[in-house]
Chains A and B, each alone.
Chain A
Amino acid sequence: MMNIKRRSSTPETPPDMNKSPEGTGQAPGSTDTTPAIRAEGLTVVRGPRTVLRGIDFTVPRGQITGLLGPSGCGKSTLMRSIVGTQAKVTGTLDVLGRPAGHPELRTRIGYVTQAPSVYDDLTVRQNLDYFAAILAPGRHAADQRHADVTRAIEDVDLTGHTDALAGNLSGGQRSRVSLAVALLGTPELLVLDEPTVGLDPVLRRDLWQLFHDIAARRGATLLISSHVMDEAERCHRLLLMREGQVLADDTPDALRTRTGSDTVEAAFLHLVDEAVAAAAREKETAR
């Protein structure tokens, strides 16, 4: 009697109910609470230059983190380190619970380089078909690949250009083909290096809509670099970089409040002035 009553009063939740479609900062079905990216004392040397100088930060899962800073501050190098294509990386860099560059991560990360990296002499669909075949090879996956490629083309709004050669597309369209490649295989972490550069305002708005959708519905983590400060307002969190160092790692609201600024741009400039002043003081005391 007791047993039956208890069972009926607390019905077990079917596993599907746990998966919130809107996402709560977790990948669907994932209970992993480790950050998506964790860096400690991360240093990268390129030739004679130290590009990243012992930086520490974490990127939480299921959110959009903006990586902002002037060009040449080390954004791209940091992204290359995260996806594991950068040489001479020292310090700790864990990505999705593994050391960056671990072979297992190659199927779990989508990466878009600053310049569109697609084959100009293939059509949009042929490009995506090939990269999909690398992610999920074999005849048995052919139907899945086809569905995935079609979805990725829809995601970046290139359905009307499926059979156009990538080389004949406009700059913005080519970078969207490059983005579509990264969306294949539903990666847990998307690393996007200036994905909206050179795009018109409507397209930029739509892409940011897509990024938020990917974070919310697919529970993916996005790390997006930009040097356009107004895009910062659209991120959940911000990493502000300057000269190979992290100036701030916070939410846009907190940044504005802390610096007493109206915009993220003003907050950034405030932090830069502070850093410059601090460096000058250090020099002064060293004398």
Chain B
Amino acid sequence: MSSTTHPAPPTALTPAPSSALNLSRTLATAARVLRQLRHDPRSIALMILVPCVMLFLLRYVFDGDPRTFDNIGASLLGIFPLITMFLVTSIATLRERTSGTLERLLAMPLGKGDMIAGYALAFGTIAIVQSALATALALWGLGLDVVGSPWLLLLVALLDALLGTALGLFVSAFAASEFQAVQFMPAVIFPQLLLCGLFTPRDNMHPVLEAISNVLPMSYAVDGMNEVLRHTDMTATFVRDALVVAGCALLVLALGAATLRRRTS
């Protein structure tokens, strides 16, 4: 401990006031989240490689039936980023809540919007890398037969990642421990997985289930992927699907922001 402390130096920080959304604070938060990840290379490897390994596996599971691989592979390209980002975000924000850093940050001039946007930006970046690798592997390594542009696949994958981040953030508010947070995965993701049209076309389902699947965002993520699979151009259905996924992501992000309370009991 330096027993001689410097008096307030002329270069002392002049803190800036808080505002709803501040680009520098958002970028600083995103950089910090990525820096945390960099100290955890195993997590990065798992996030990036697991989807590729799964696609590889799937390709040879349907070795005798490439048509099925086309259908399921394209859908999975949309589902993987959603699931990974959901898991990663729900645990990361839960840690932020339980470690006291969230309380500290909210006692500082950090806007809730900065916090949410910072997380979305950081995990969005990871999602881009993950989706780009998985899409490239599927298209050129495993011969996934896609009629439309691979850029559109990537766009939907990115929107799905954003939706996953949003859902994870929202759900972390209701989990008291990491143990509970992981249990939210089957609760929130699995029903959507069953109803999204991955296993059977949605119009073959019981009408009640079909109606439910119509209001679940993952259904639109998978529909969007299938549009790219079958059509050369951007169809009206594709635009609708992309907008629905993006809209849901923004809505849930806003709900997530509402769960960040400056004052807690």
Q: Main SS of the interface on chain B?
A: loop
In the complex, per-residue mask of A66-88: 1 if CB is within 8 Å of any chain B CB, else 0: 00000000000000000111111
Asked whether any CB of chain A lies closer than 8 Å to the CB of B231, the reply is: no
A181/B104 in contact, CB under 8 A: yes
Asked whether any CB of chain B lies closer than 8 Å to the CB of A201, the reply is: no
B28/A165 in contact, CB under 8 A: no
Give Cα A62–Cα B96 distance, bound, in whole angstroms: 33
A84/B13 in contact, CB under 8 A: no
In the complex, per-residue mask of A85-127: 1 if CB is within 8 Å of any chain B CB, else 0: 1111100000000000101101111010101111111100010
Nearest CB of A to B26, in Å: 9
Give Cα A50–Cα B5 distance, bound, in whole angstroms: 41
Asked whether any CB of chain A lies closer than 8 Å to the CB of B14, the reply is: yes
A107/B101 in contact, CB under 8 A: no
Q: How many residues of A sit at the interface, in one of the four size bands?
A: 35 or more
A85-B262, A87-B264 are contacts. A122–B39 as well, Cβ < 8 Å?
Answer: yes
A186-B12, A218-B7 are contacts. A113–B1 as well, Cβ < 8 Å?
Answer: no
Asked whether any CB of chain B lies closer than 8 Å to the CB of A210, the reply is: yes
Q: List residues of A whose CB falls within 8 A of some B CB.
A: 21, 28, 45-47, 83-89, 101, 103-104, 106-109, 111, 113, 115-122, 126, 130-139, 141, 143-145, 147-148, 151, 154-157, 165, 181, 184-186, 203, 206-207, 209-210, 213-214, 217-218
Q: List residues of B whose CB falls within 8 A of some A CB.
A: 1-9, 11-18, 22, 24-25, 28-29, 31-32, 35-36, 39-40, 99-101, 103-110, 261-265
Query: Given known contacts A131-B104, A137-B16, A141-B16, what 8 new A-B pairs fall within 8 Å (CB)?
Result: A28-B8, A113-B104, A132-B13, A137-B25, A143-B11, A144-B11, A210-B1, A217-B5
Nearest 8 interchain pairs by C-beta? A117-B100, A206-B1, A107-B15, A137-B24, A133-B28, A213-B5, A157-B1, A87-B263
